[in-house]
Structure 1
Amino acid sequence: MYSISEAAKLLEISSHTLRYYEKEQIILPDRNDHGEREYGDSHIAWLRFVIKLKQTQMPLVKIREYSRLYQEGEHTQEARLRLLEEHRNSVREQISTLQETEKMLDHKIGSYKEMINPSI
């Protein structure tokens, strides 16, 4: 089990973020006899997933919805699947946009390099 500070360090996020995720009911850590938060390996794995969703621009409201559906049980699997498929489509659009932007940047960088050093 990990304390909140250990979990935060392991995940490279702040303790404040962990408390916020708890407040938003995205994570429900265990509590020890003293009432202190404890995070097990399953919590860490879940939080890594949440962090990836956040990094790929999934809105917090959707992450919260997914978490709620997961906590409700197996009868929500189809709804969770739809939510993740929608997000995957969004990620694919982001990838496409980034690839197009990279090509444009490569072209612009090449143009500047040629202007600066025309003999190369």
Structure 2
Amino acid sequence: MYSISEVAEKVDISAHTLRYYEKEGIISPVRNAHGIREFDEQHLKWLHFVKKLRETQMPVSQIKEYTHLFLEGEHTANERLRLLEEHQQFIRDQIETLLATDEMLTKKISTYKEIMKKSLMK
């Protein structure tokens, strides 16, 4: 079992964020006899997944929805699949946008380097 500070370090998120996720129902740590949160390996795996969803800009509201569906059981698999497929499409759209922007910037940078090179030759 891990303490909140150990989990925060292992997952690289703040203890404040862990408490927020608990408040929002995204994670449910076990409480020991003293009321202290304890996390296990399953919590760590779940938090790594949640962290990736957040890093790819999935809103907390959608993560909450996914979490609640997951906790409801297998009969929600189609809804969970839909949420993940929609998010994957969002990520793919972002990748397309980033690649197009990178290409545009590469051309712009090249243009500036050519201008600077010509001005040095004068």
Structure 1 residue ranges (4+ consecutive) displaced by more than 6 angstroms after TM superposition: none
Match of 2:56 in 1: 56
- Give unmatched runs, 5+ long, in structure 2: none
Q: Percent identity at matched positions?
A: 57
Normalization by structure 2: what TM-score? 0.94
- Residues 39-86 of structure 1, C-alpha deviation per residue, up to 9 Å, x if partnerless? 111101101111111111111110000000001111111110011011
Alignment-derived partner of residue 114 in structure 2: 114
Structure 1 position 105, deviation (Å)? 0.9
The one-letter code sitting in structure 2 at the alignment partner of 1:96 is: E
TM-score, normalised on structure 1? 0.95
AA aligned opposite 2:49: F
Alignment of 1:76-91 (within 5 A): 76-91=76-91
Please give the alpha-carbon distance, in whole angstroms, between the structure 2 residues aligned to 1:117 and 1:40: 59
Q: CA RMSD in A?
A: 1.0
Letter in 2 for 1:45: K
Q: Letter of the 1:88 partner, please give it.
A: Q
CA deviation map 1:19-57 (0-9, x unaligned): 000000001111112111111111011011111111111
Letter in 2 for 1:49: F
Within 5 A, what are the aligned runs for 1:1-120? 1-118=1-118
Q: Number of aligned residue pairs: give it.
A: 119
Residue identity in the other structure for 1:16 = H
CA apart distance, 1:114: 1.2
- The one-letter code of the counterpart of 1:111 is T
The Cα shift of 1:111 comes to 1.0
